[in-house]
Amino acid sequence: MREFLRFCRHFLRLLHYVRGVMLILIAALFICALLFVQVEGKDFGEALYFTLITGLTIGYGDIAPVTAAGRVLSIVAGVIGVIYVGLVVAIATRALRDSAEEEKVIRSKKK
């Protein structure tokens, strides 16, 4: 359990450094959802759902864009989502490495 908490501490510390980028990416996804409402005529809940499912590259297919502008927005949402997920994975990888290094230091001090 201590290792997990150590990982979480490192993850949150690193997340703090890129919080501006993360907020911009989230805001961009919300803007895509708002534009999807205008272009496709869906309600905001459906548009947000579609944008997030597309951004996470899940794509259930239950909602699909009909217009060319809607298709372009879905591509933009997909790219933004891939960048967002890639950033989270990079942060998690670095946090895991940092927590493993910290564990090594702690174990070497105990010897």
Q: What span, in angstroms and rounded, lies between the C-alpha atoms of 47 and 51? A: 6
pLDDT of residue 109: 84
Residue in this structure with the two tokens 């891939």, named with its chain if needed: 82
The DSSP annotation for 36-71 comes to: HHHHH---HHHHHHHHHHHHTT---SSS---SHHHH
- In a structure prediction context, what are the per-residue pLDDT tens digits for the chain, which is 111 residues long? 889 999 999 999 999 999 999 999 999 999 999 999 999 999 999 999 999 999 998 989 899 999 999 999 999 999 999 999 999 999 999 999 999 999 999 888 876
Domains of the chain: 2-110 (1.10.287.70)
Judged by DSSP in three states, 76 sits in helix
